[in-house]
Amino acid sequence: MNTLTIDTSTIVASVAILNEEKLVGEMIINHQKKHSEKLMIAIDHLLSDGGLSINDIDVFGIVSGPGSFTGLRIGMATVKGFAQALNKPVVAVSTLESLAMNIPFADGLICPVLDAQRNQTYTGIFHFEDGHLVRDMADTVMEIDDLIASLRVKNETIYFLGDGLPRFAQVLQEAVPESLIVPNYLNMNRASSAGALVLERALKGETSHYREVEPFYIRPSYAEEHKK
């Protein structure tokens, strides 16, 4: 089963093709949000270099959020277009669980932190058990101080990663003594991490129809939030 997974949820644009045997190929571009211009070109390169055509893809994976609203929609609208044109299923995975998949041998809690602006973070808590990702807290948006308060009582090693780190690494390290900051090269979104989850779920038949799958914004739009 060939899966093609797209992640445009943050400044990183990434595409990966995975099947049961191997990671066929991956592209990660961590430079400027020009996802709309770059994405299809990256997909085209990856497919042709991997000796595949778009018709060989059985399942389309999408990192559905949280993240940049526009970025989420570029990826989602692209995946919906593929799935609708080729009549193939979709698997959506969260940006945060996908980040946690970057460090599968971590022996503690994994806490991805995305910069959600306004001193808030999109975050969740995970750990690995027998090589499988286990979720300990639902993806949410919260004040960084509230996250710190909830982590202080954990008494476990906590691995932090995600695009919120440039902003929050210092406060997290000061407040949570058992914290480890994941190095830069494993710190950002990569479609192969999401793709591993996509493949696992697709093999279990946990797929969605292109009309059902939606971006996972967590936050309502600013206008809805501020509507009296």
Partner 1 sequence: MKILSIETSCDETSVAIVEDGRKILTNRIYSQIDIHQKYGGVVPEIASRNHVTKLPYIIDEALAESRLSLAEMDAIAVTNGPGLVGALLIGLSTAKAMAYSLGKPLIGVHHIEGHIAANFLQFPELAPPFLTLVVSGGHSHLVLVEDYQTFKVLGRTIDDAAGEAFDKISRVLGLGYPGGPAIDAAAKNGNPDAIPFPRVMLDKTQYDFSFSGLKSAVLNYLNGKKMKNETVNPDDVAASFQLAVIEVLVNKTIACANSIGMKTICMAGGVSCNSLLREMMGQAATEAGMTLYYPDPILCTDNAAMIGSMAYYNYINGEISDLSLNGIPGLKIGTRQ
If one asks whether residue 171 binds partner 1 (CB under 8 A), the answer comes out as no
- In this complex, which beta carbon is closest to partner 1, that of residue 64 or of residue 94? 64
Count CB atoms within 10 A of the CB of residue 58: 16
How far is Cα 188 from Cα 181, in angstroms, rounded to an integer?
12
CB of 73 to partner 1, least distance (A): 5
Site for partner 1 in 76-95 (CB under 8 A): 76-82, 84-86
CB of 72 to partner 1, least distance (A): 9
Work out which of 74, 111, 144, 202 binds partner 1, going by CB under 8 A: 74
If one asks whether residue 170 binds partner 1 (CB under 8 A), the answer comes out as no
> For residues 76 and 62, is the Cβ–Cβ distance under 8 A?
yes
- In this complex, which beta carbon is closest to partner 1, that of residue 41 or of residue 149? 41
- In this complex, which beta carbon is closest to partner 1, that of residue 82 or of residue 122? 82
If one asks whether residue 54 binds partner 1 (CB under 8 A), the answer comes out as yes
- In this complex, which beta carbon is closest to partner 1, that of residue 71 or of residue 195? 71
Task: Give the CA-trace dihedral at 86, 88, 94, 97, to 10 degrees.
Answer: -120
Structure tokens, 210: 């292109």
Going 69 to 14 to 94 to 203, the CA torsion angle's sign is positive
If one asks whether residue 200 binds partner 1 (CB under 8 A), the answer comes out as no
Site for partner 1 in 22-41 (CB under 8 A): 36-41
- In this complex, which beta carbon is closest to partner 1, that of residue 42 or of residue 101? 42
CB of 218 to partner 1, least distance (A): 13
How far is Cα 68 from Cα 225, in angstroms, rounded to an integer?
17
Work out which of 48, 70, 119, 184 binds partner 1, going by CB under 8 A: 70
How far is Cα 61 from Cα 4, in angstroms, rounded to an integer?
6
CB of 82 to partner 1, least distance (A): 5
| Binding site residues, partner 1, CB under 8 A | 36-41, 43-44, 54-55, 69-70, 73-82, 84-86, 210-211, 214-215, 217, 221-224, 227
